[in-house]
């Protein structure tokens, strides 16, 4: 549900404001609204994989989702530590 919410807010922001906030002048696609849409799609796909894996009791899919979540957590910690 949160992935869909991010996609909706990102799309609304992109339509209403366009590329108002950019993160870098070098990357033309790195605007706030496009990053929100990409994050929403990523969250929705991983959540869907987790739900399907739990519903079908597929251990392989649950392991893959767990690895994705652990990697995202480690990347978030690494990025936050590099910023300080």
Residues 19-50 pLDDT 10s = 666 666 666 666 778 888 888 999 999 999 99
Mean per-residue pLDDT of the chain: 85
In terms of residue numbers, what domain contains 22? 2-83
If one counts the domains in the chain, the total is 1
Calculate mean pLDDT across residues 46-75: 93
What pTM does this model have? 0.72
How far apart are the C-alpha atoms of 72 and 60, rounded to whole Å?
19
């Amino acid at each position: 549900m949160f992935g869909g919410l991010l996609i909706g807010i990102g799309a609304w922001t992109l339509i209403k404001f366009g590329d108002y906030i950019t993160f870098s002048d070098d990357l033309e696609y790195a605007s706030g609204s496009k990053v929100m849409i990409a994050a929403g799609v990523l969250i929705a796909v991983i959540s869907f994989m987790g739900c399907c894996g739990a519903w079908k009791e597929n251990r392989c899919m649950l392991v893959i989702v767990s690895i994705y979540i652990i990697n995202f957590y480690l990347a978030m910690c690494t990025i936050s530590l590099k910023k300080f």
